[in-house]
Chains A and B, each alone.
Chain A
Amino acid sequence: MTAASQSKQHTTSTDALTFTFDGRALVGRHGDTVASALLANGVFTIGRSFKYHRPRGFWSAGAEEPNGLFDIRHQGRHHPNARGTLVPLEAGMEVRSVNTSPSAAQDRLSLLDRLGRFLPAGFYYKTFLWPDWHLYEPRIRAMAGLGRLDPAFEPPGNSPQRSLHCDLLIIGAGPAGLAAAHAAATAGRRVLLVELQRQAGGSLLHRPARIEGLDGTDWVAATLNKLSDQGGELLTSTTAYGIYDHNLVCLWEQRQGRPDRLWRVRPREIVLATGASERPLVFENNDRPGILSADAGLHYLRRHGVRLGERVVIATNNDSVWPVATGLRDAGARVTIADSRAQASLPAPEGVELLTSAPVTSVQGRKRAEAVIVKGRSLAADLVLVSGGFTPNVHLYCQARGRLHYDEERLAFRPGQAVPGLQVVGAANGTFLLADALKEGHRSAGSKEDVPRAEAALEQFSIEAAWPDTKLAGRQWIDFQNDVTLKDVALAAQENFRSVEHLKRYTTLGMATDQGKTSNMNGLAAMAAVTGRTIPEVGTTTFRPPYVPVPFTVIAGRRRGELFSPVRRLVLENAHRQAGAAFREYGSWLRPAFYGVGTPEEAIHREARQARQSVGLFDGSPLGKIEVMGPQAAALLDFNSYNRLSTLKPGRIRYGFMLTESGVVYDDGVVLRVSEDHFIVSCSSGHVPGVVMRLEEWRQDRFDPSQVVVHNSTAQWSTLTATGPQARSLVAALDLGVDLGDDALPHMAFAQGRFRQWPVRVARVSFTGDRSYELSLPAAGALTLWQRMLVEGQKREATLLGSEALMILRAEKGYIVAGKDTDGYTMPMDLGLSGPREKRQDEYVGKRALFTPEATKPNRPALVGLEVEGSEPLPTGAHAIERSGTGQRSLGFVTSSYWSPMLGRPIALALVEAGRARLQQEIEIYHLGQQRRARVVAPCAFDPEGARLNA
């Protein structure tokens, strides 16, 4: 018989599930978790510890599990740090141990364990400080750590996300939670009950009890039936991992054969019946495989039919292990209870040996417990079950701002003052006895009916402190997952890291993926003992979500890949693709960067040159088209803008800035006046939402909202631009019904025309310095017009113009891009526009800020152009510097820099301190150790007379 003897079902079942562990084929059965299946196969060493690579085995059967982490692949899914105690076994699963090489059973780095006394807490930081921790970090990190992320991994499907409202959310379907759910559903409330194990029932599934005359498991089944009849819902394998503001509870539902699911629940009220976690006792080698929580020992025996050992020693300081002892005795094991108390409060069960004043002081055996030392005597044991008492699972209560108080009698932090809308019942409240837990659960639902009557195998619970003893010899583990020993805690105290928050960060106690569910209490009790304080004086650390690690795929749902940050797409995207466009993201828009063959540089330069020589066709649809209408439209725009707009005539266009209240240039763009009370704000593409919002803000704050409205029609209209010497001839050929003569339609004017059934706004504005026409029409007509423009363009040697070439054309002219050629400090005067500041008497956004000492100092930066020798453009971001006796300082930086194909030389724009006073001077440019010289010139490098606007 193997050490882990199996029940009849385990060996004869027809629903066998094959899976692999570290490449070895094993058989589990339906209903198993990964943990129960491994244990049933006698696998006790399941991984290596984080720091010392010590062999480790399962401690628990639940969410608190510190050791049982696995890399699990199945049906295209990959979970690199899965908690084996909560993962339902599925046929074909590939389970691998983590932090082992090559396997859990044979691990090359286990010699690290023998160096353990040289590796105390803080060792790495102190030892590898010189010359630089980062030199050592990669190799140290490679030795430590848990599961490995696979960068190439793509989940086979998106995790669905559901939202739900209910009257009552009950978290935990043990006896207290079931009693609450049943009572609430009977009272007609909409109930959702969630359970992180794959089966509802909690301790009733493995601890013997009778409720209402029924066997415990039958009562669970009957109660679930009634709950379902009453319309209550149950989710199993579902972990409530966080309570957030305004009663939002997030649930992670693990599903078999389908992607896991995220639930966002907004209950009116919450009942927490989250149970309690059994604490380890702290003795030498208390981390060896084959040492488990006593309750877990009974759990695996009763729920999964796995008896974990034949010769069992149960180490305890409390009464809860009595049913564990009798359960294992009934399953044929030889059982000894080693009770640390001088007097046990219950008599020895028949056939079980009871030792008193008998704390376990050490365990022998490396990959599996072989014997325990009790009172200096060695006792053979292939299984050591441990109960150091229970720590209520109060995480969610604390996340909801609950405050704990320490209960000296139960040796546990329990919920203190009530949190509105939230009740804590059962073991989570420190109520460890069945009858009391049922009563609490039942009453939490406000039921007036009788409390279910219960008899349990355990009718009393008393406990006596057996906290870590620093006087004991040997290495005693506090935190299994982060490999923190009792000595580390003592060292932290010695080095004065005594606050519980410092203890945590110095030793990493409780900072692993189990968040110290089994270790925090022992850690702070040890700190209390070392520093001569009480446990409540030491206190607990903060509880933060998530309760267990939740896969990112579950939280992300469909917000991954393309939907992680969706791009905005042009109506003409397909047409551009057919024309060979290379797309890039500009702000949130996906736009053609350049078209056609050759290197990007060749294509961009070809487009820039040809647009100047014949005509360029550009899709400018993302340009802002914000309509401002009503009797107060002009007044709103005057206030919003640096330049006055109420003086603009209908049919005309004006360029200008919008400032922030700090006087900084927020955006530049043009405004069209359609009629007396109708304007169109054509701000830059990236600023459309922001401009809409600031117009709305001032509209509602300062004006009569019934007298002016703001409407963003950017997405409803497309804007197609023709620019260059052949632009007029091309637009004329489109038959838009607009007089294109320069008298009728001069630069900075617009006219309304028609193209087929669509209205077209024909605007003469130029971002290239060449004669340009922006044609704006309803998006539905964009493709037809674009195709016509391409046909007419072919006759004129037109080029398609991507955003990159346009950037060169505008930089040749010294035209800025707000946010690129300006920073969070640039005022309009710095860009050479000081007229409104000097002339305007009325109020406008940012006005007062233009008159502060900072705004009026003489050496403010100014936008200038830079000329350099040679053919290499300056790096964007390079600094202009000034040297003095003591060193060098920055005078500003290059904001835009390109090769100009028309000029045959590099061009650059820069913001330079007192730049206009430096015109024609040479300055030094510094970038990453390289120095060059540049001449300060006017921003406009091409056609400074502006003749081409009307050419």
Chain B
Amino acid sequence: MQRFPCPFCGLRDETEFHYGGEAGNDRPEPAAEVSDQGWAEYLHIETNPKGRSREIWVHMTCGEFFLLERDTVTHEVFASESLRRAAP
């Protein structure tokens, strides 16, 4: 059982979290300007790094999505970071 640090709730068991995808997979738009290839890459292509990775996770119990840096081989967790920006 891994433990992940929710930026809001602290260290919690992995069963409370859900993987949300690799960080930086920006949604291409507007749709009219996106190629079939570009959309398919957004949907399906992952870099799947071996080692240090940046991922989006959600803490199901509080509902917050955040950035998690961890090692996909050793499962070491380096840091988590809130995705909240200051209100404009």
Residues of A that sit less than 8 Å from B by CB: 244-246, 248, 264, 401, 661-662, 692-693, 696-697, 700-701, 704-706, 843, 847-849, 851-853
Q: What's the minimum C-beta distance from A691 to chain B, rounded to whole angstroms?
A: 13
Residues from chain B with a CB closer than 8 A to the CB of A662 are 43
Q: Shortest Cβ distance from B34 into chain A, in angstroms?
A: 5
**24 A–B contacts from the bound complex (CB under 8 Å):** A245-B1, A245-B14, A245-B75, A246-B77, A248-B1, A264-B1, A693-B18, A693-B60, A693-B63, A696-B58, A696-B63, A697-B20, A700-B84, A701-B83, A704-B88, A705-B84, A843-B29, A843-B30, A847-B31, A848-B31, A849-B39, A849-B43, A852-B40, A853-B36
Contact A401 B74 (CB under 8 A): yes
Cβ–Cβ contact B83 & A700, under 8 A: yes
C-alpha gap A851/B33 in the complex (Å): 12
CB under 8 Å from chain A, chain B span 51-67: 58, 60, 63-65
How far in angstroms is the closest Cβ of chain A from B78? 13
Measured CA separation A803–B18 after assembly (Å)? 32
Answer whether residue B87 sits at the interface, using C-beta atoms and an 8 A cutoff.
yes
Residues of B within 8 A of A692 (CB): 63
Nearest CB on B from A45, distance (A): 43
A697 touching B58, Cβ below 8 Å: yes
Instruction: Report chain B residues within 8 Å CB of A847.
Output: 31
Please determine whether B29 and A848 come into contact, CB atoms closer than 8 angstroms: yes
Contacts of A245 in B (CB 8 A): 1-2, 14, 75
Contact indicator per residue, chain B 76-88, by CB within 8 Å of chain A (1) or not (0): 0100000110011
Complex Cα gap A696–B1 (Å): 26
Q: A704-B88, A848-B29, A849-B43 are in contact. Are A693 and B1 (CB under 8 A)?
A: no
- Whether B65 pairs with A697 at a CB distance below 8 angstroms is yes
B57 to chain A minimum Cβ distance, whole angstroms, is 11
Q: Enumerate chain A residues within 8 angstroms of B29, measured Cβ to Cβ.
A: 843, 848
Chain B residues whose C-beta falls within 8 Å of the C-beta of A705 in the assembled complex = 84
| 5 more CB-based (< 8 A) A-B contacts, given A848-B34, A852-B39 | A245-B75, A246-B3, A661-B43, A697-B58, A705-B84
Interface string of B26-53 (1 = CB under 8 A from A): 0011110010100110110000000000
A705 to B84, CA, bound (A): 8
Residues of B within 8 A of A853 (CB): 36
The winner among A246, A662, A693, A696 for most chain B CB atoms within 10 A is: A246
Cα separation A727 to B43 with both chains bound (whole Å): 47
Could you tell me if A852 and B36 are in contact, using CB atoms closer than 8 angstroms?
yes
B34 touches A246 (CB 8 A): no
Given contacts A697-B58, A700-B64, A705-B84, contact A843 B31 (CB under 8 A): yes
Cα of A143 to Cα of B34 in the assembled complex, Å: 64
Chain A residue at minimum C-beta to C-beta distance from B28: A848
Residues in chain B near residue A246, CB distance under 8 A: 1-3, 75, 77
Residues of A within 8 A of B36 (CB): 852-853
Q: Which residue on A lies nearest to B35, using beta carbons?
A: A848
- CB of A829, distance to nearest CB on chain B (Å): 15
Chain A residue numbers with a CB within 8 Å of B74 are 401
Roughly how many angstroms separate A692 CA and B77 CA in the complex, as a whole number?
28
Q: Which residues of B contact A (CB under 8 A)?
A: 1-3, 14, 18, 20, 28-31, 34, 36, 39-40, 42-43, 58, 60, 63-65, 74-75, 77, 83-84, 87-88
Chain A, Cβ-Cβ closest to B29: A843
Which residues of chain A are near B3, meaning CB under 8 Å?
246
Identify A848's interface contact among B39, B77, B87, B88, CB under 8 A: B39
Could you tell me the distance between the alpha carbons of A246 and B77 in the complex, rounded to whole angstroms?
9
Q: Smallest Cβ distance from B28 to chain A, in angstroms?
A: 8
Q: What is the chain B residue whose CB lies nearest that of A702?
A: B27
Which residues on the A side are within 8 Å of B18 (C-beta)? 693
Q: How far is the CB of B67 from chain A (nearest CB, A)?
A: 12
Closest 6 A/B residue pairs (Cβ): A848-B31, A245-B2, A847-B31, A848-B39, A248-B1, A706-B87
Q: Complex: how many Å from CA A693 to CA B83?
A: 16
Smallest CB–CB gap between A665 and chain B, Å?
16
- The CA of A696 and the CA of B34, in the complex, are separated in Å by 25
Determine the residue in chain B with the shortest Cβ distance to A705: B84
Which residue of the partner chain, among B42, B65, B75, B84, contacts A696 with CB atoms under 8 Å? Answer: B65
| Closest Cβ neighbor of A712 among chain B residues | B63
Q: A245-B75, A848-B29 are in contact. Are A701 and B65 (CB under 8 A)?
A: yes
**Could you say which of A401, A693, A704, A853 has the most chain B C-beta atoms within 10 Å of its C-beta?**
A693
Docked-complex contact A693 and B58, CB < 8 angstroms: yes
**Which residue of A is nearest B87, CB measured?**
A706
A566 to chain B, nearest CB (A): 15
- Residue in A closest to B44 when the chains form the complex, CB atoms: A662
Bound Cα distance A226, B39 (Å):
67
Quote the shortest CB–CB distance from A385 to chain B (angstroms). Answer: 42
Docked Cα-Cα span, A264 to B75, in Å, equals 19
Residue of B nearest to A710 (CB): B63
Which residue of the partner chain B has the closest CB to A852?
A: B36
- Give the docked Cα–Cα distance between A693 and B59 (Å): 10
Cα separation A244 to B77 with both chains bound (whole Å): 15
Q: Which residues of B contact A843 (CB under 8 A)?
A: 29-31
Q: Which residues of B contact A704 (CB under 8 A)?
A: 87-88
CB-CB under 8 A from B63, the residues of chain A are: 692-693, 696
Nearest CB to that of A692 among chain B residues? B63
A401 / chain B contacts, CB cutoff of 8 Å: 74
Chain A residues whose CB sits within 8 angstroms of the CB of B30 once the complex forms:
843
CB distance from B82 to the nearest CB of A (A): 10
Bound-complex Cα distance A706 to B84 (A):
10
Q: How far is the CB of B33 from chain A (nearest CB, A)?
A: 10
Q: How far is the CB of B16 from chain A (nearest CB, A)?
A: 13
Output the least CB separation between B75 and chain A (Å).
5
Interchain CA distance A360-B44 in the complex, whole Å: 64
Please name the residue on chain A nearest to B2 by beta carbon: A245
Report the Cα distance A840→B40, complex, angstroms: 21
B76 CB to nearest chain A CB (Å)? 9
Q: CA–CA, A849 to B31, complex, Å?
A: 9
Residues of A within 8 A of B40 (CB): 852
Residues of A within 8 A of B60 (CB): 693
The minimal Cβ–Cβ distance linking B54 to chain A, given in whole angstroms, is: 15
**In the complex the two chains form, what is the Cα distance from A853 to B39 in whole Å?**
12
**In the complex, what residues of B have CB within 8 A of residue A848's CB?**
28-29, 31, 34, 39
The interface centre, meaning the residue of A264, A661, A700, A851 with most chain B CB atoms within 10 A of its CB, is A700
Which interface residue of B58, B63, B84 has the most chain A CB atoms within 10 A?
A: B63
The CA of A696 and the CA of B61, in the complex, are separated in Å by 12
CB-nearest residue of chain A relative to B85? A704
How distant is the Cα of A264 from the Cα of B1 in the complex, in angstroms? 10
How far, in whole Å, are A389 and B65 apart by their CA atoms in the complex? 55
- In the bound complex, CA of A436 to CA of B53 (Å): 43
Chain B residues within an 8 Å CB radius of A696: 58, 63, 65
Interchain nearest-CB distance for B18 vs A (Å):
8
Residue of A nearest to B60 (CB): A693
A695 — nearest CB in chain B belongs to which residue? B63
Report the bound CA distance from A700 to B20 in whole Å. Answer: 12
In whole Å, how far is B87's beta carbon from the nearest beta carbon of chain A?
A: 5
Inside 8 A of A248's CB, which chain B residues have their CB?
Answer: 1
Q: How far is the CA of A248 from the CA of B34 in the complex (A)?
A: 46
In Å, the complex CA distance between A705 and B83 comes to: 11
CA distance A693 to B47 in the complex (A): 25
User: Nearest Cβ in chain A — how far from B10, in angstroms?
Assistant: 14
The complex places the Cα of A693 from the Cα of B58 at a distance, in Å, of: 9
Cβ of B62 to closest chain A Cβ, rounded Å: 10
